[in-house]
Structure formats: structure tokens, C-alpha cells
Structure 1
Amino acid sequence: MRVGIGSQNPVKVTATEQAIGPLPGATVDPVDVASGVPDQPTGLAETRAGAETRARRAYDAGGFDLGVGVEGGVASLGSDDLYLVMWAAVTDGDRVELAAGPSIRLPDHVAARVRDGEELGPVMDDAFDRDGVARDEGAIGVFTGGEVDRTEALRTAVAGALGPFVTSHYG
């Protein structure tokens, strides 16, 4: 089985490889595609749309059995707080399945900067004097004290979206 992941980001690629891992003979190939949403997706719908667009575009790149898209964003989730959100989509060219990863509240000083139009990744690097948080443990890793890292969070989202394709539980 050949799987295209709609990103060159090593964290997203590794998360997809780990979710696909139990499938015999499966390979994962990164495909550079645009998400169709802003660099900092805002809201659940926009974040989901980015994941779905990445999955469709990866699949359409050709020769893949499945296309995977992963997108991280921020959303208010019905409160004044701002949360990190993440979505994964998997498509076989006919149907698209979606699943979410964990969400975590952003600290006020980070949320304020994101609300002012900055992208979360660079804010994390600056606010925590780091380099490449988005390609390493992610905001979720920083805010859980390393208990959950970005790869694991995204892996669970990809595994959830993959479930209907690899189990008989969805009919």
C-alpha cells in the first residue's frame, strides 16, 4: 500500500508512518502540497478543511492508495480561551475520513500574539527561546511538559482517520 502524506514536515511524516506502520508493506511518501487555508488556520472548520485539502491533493499527486492530510490550527471552542487543535484526513479518492487529535488551551501570552495575527510556530520559538518547536515537540509538547509530543498527538489523529479504511467496523 502506498500512502501519500500532504506535507514535507518531518513530524507529520513520522506521525503518518507510525499510524500506518502496522499495515504490511505500507510505505509513506511526503508530497509537497498547499493546504488551501492560511498558514495559521483559525477555527475547527478551517483546520479540518486544510487537512482534507492536503489529503486530496496528496492522493491526486498520483499512484497512491491513500492520501493523508494533517493540519494544526487554533480555535476558541466556544470560550474566550484559544486552543491548539489538530485534524487529520485520509482519502482513498472516493471518501474522506476525518479525526481530531488532542486540544490544549494556549497560555494567554501566546494566545494574544496568535490573535494579533502571528503564526503559532514562530510565536512558540520566540516566547520560549527555542528554534523549530513546530518541527520538534510542538506546542503540545511544550505545554504538557513533554508528556505528549506533536508526533504522538498527530499520530492519534491519523490513526483515527485511517480506522474506517483498515477495520471492518464501519461497514
Structure 2
Amino acid sequence: MQIAVGSGNPVKREAAARVFAESAVAAEPVPSGVSEQPVGHEETRRGARNRATAALRAGAYDLGVGIEGGVATFGASGAAASEDDDLFLVMWAAVTNGERWGVGAGPSLPLPEPITARVRDGEELGPVMDDVLGKSNVAEKEGAAGAFTDGSMSRTDALDAAVTAAASPFLSDLY
């Protein structure tokens, strides 16, 4: 099976390769169609779906995989989010063969308050993490998930969970 991941980020390709271990997984850098810093579950999920569609169309692939990270609140009892709500790092993935879809989320990690403040002020999480950690390209290495868990969960681990959830209709006969 030929699978395309809609990103040039090696961590995202590796996450998909873990889930589809018996398949050839290629990276296809494609636009997400959402903002550089997706805010909210809806925008983050839409970015994953957009990437999956574009990746599938980028070549002769059987499946397209889209992975998008964003920040979101959960709001009290489904109410509209307020600035008092905690902000979380969220991950969404989508898998499609052009007809069927699977969409799933990965873990949600609370952002530390100093980082939340910067993101709420309009900064993108990736560059904030680079600045806070004094490193470059954190998003292509351990990611915020790795930093927030002191390495207990890498970014690849977190994205693997999202891709696994999204791939479930293609992995199980129960769907």
C-alpha cells in the first residue's frame, strides 16, 4: 500500500510509518489551508483533513494522511471558550482513500501559563517553544509534547496516537 503524509516534517512521516508499518509511507509537503497556528478543534481538524486530501492527490497513493497540531480549550460543559479556560496542545489526524474517512485526536497536553500567555498574544507555539527551550526546530524533534512531559512522550508518540485513531476505519473490520 502506498501512503502519503501531507507534510515535509519527518516526525509526522515517522508517526504514520509506525501505524502503517507494512506500507511505503512518503512525505508530501502540502498546505494545510488553515492558519500557521490553528486555534480550536475545528480549525485543527480541518487542517488535518485538508492535508489528507492534498496528500492523496499528490501522487498515485492508496491513502492520504493529514496531521495537524493546534491549541484549543475544552470550555466548561461545552460552553464557548473564554480566556479563563486552560489552553491545550491538541493533535488531530485524518486518513482518506478518497471515499472513506477516518478522523481522530491524539493526546491533549495543558500549556504552561507563560507559554499560554504568549500564544494568546498571537505567537505561534513552535517558535515559542524554540525560544523557551533555547533550541531550534523543536517541532521537528521532541516537540512541545516531549518538552511538557520531560521526554516521557515524544511528539512522534503523540502524533502516532492521533494517526492510529484516524486510521481505525482502515485497520479494523468493525467499521
| 2:29 is aligned with 1:32 | yes
Query: TM-score, structure 2 length as denominator?
Result: 0.93
What are the Cα deviations for residues 108-155 of structure 1, in whole angstroms up to 9, with x where unaligned? Answer: 100111111111010001012122211111111101110001001101
Contact 2:101 2:169 in 1 (8 A): no
Contact 2:141 2:155 in 1 (8 A): yes
2:132 is matched with 127
| 2:51 is aligned with 1:54 | yes
Structure 2 CA distance for aligned equivalents of residues 107 and 116 of structure 1: 14
Query: TM-score, structure 1 length as denominator?
Result: 0.95
What are the Cα deviations for residues 19-66 of structure 1, in whole angstroms up to 9, with x where unaligned? Answer: 111x3xx10111111000001000000000000000000011121000
1:6 is matched with 6
Listed as ranges, the matches of 1:18-167 within 5 Å are 18-21=18-21, 23=22, 26-78=23-75, 80-167=85-172
Kindly provide the amino acid, as one letter, of the partner of residue 114 in structure 1.
V
Structure 2 CA distance for aligned equivalents of residues 109 and 47 of structure 1: 22
SS across alignment from 1:159: helix
Number of aligned residues: 167
Unaligned runs of 5+ in 2: 77-84
Task: Find runs of 4+ consecutive structure 1 residues off by over 4 angstroms.
Answer: none
- More off after superposition, 102-111 vs 159-168: 159-168
Unaligned runs of 5+ in 1: none
Structure 2 CA distance for aligned equivalents of residues 30 and 13 of structure 1: 6
SS across alignment from 1:38: coil
The alpha carbon displacement at 1:96 in A equals 1.6
SS across alignment from 1:87: strand
The alpha carbon displacement at 1:162 in A equals 1.0
Structure 2 CA distance for aligned equivalents of residues 29 and 124 of structure 1: 27
Structure 1 CA distance for aligned equivalents of residues 47 and 102 of structure 2: 13
Kindly provide the amino acid, as one letter, of the partner of residue 6 in structure 1.
G
What are the Cα deviations for residues 61-98 of structure 1, in whole angstroms up to 9, with x where unaligned? Answer: 12100000000000011161110000000000012210
Root mean square deviation of aligned Cα: 0.9
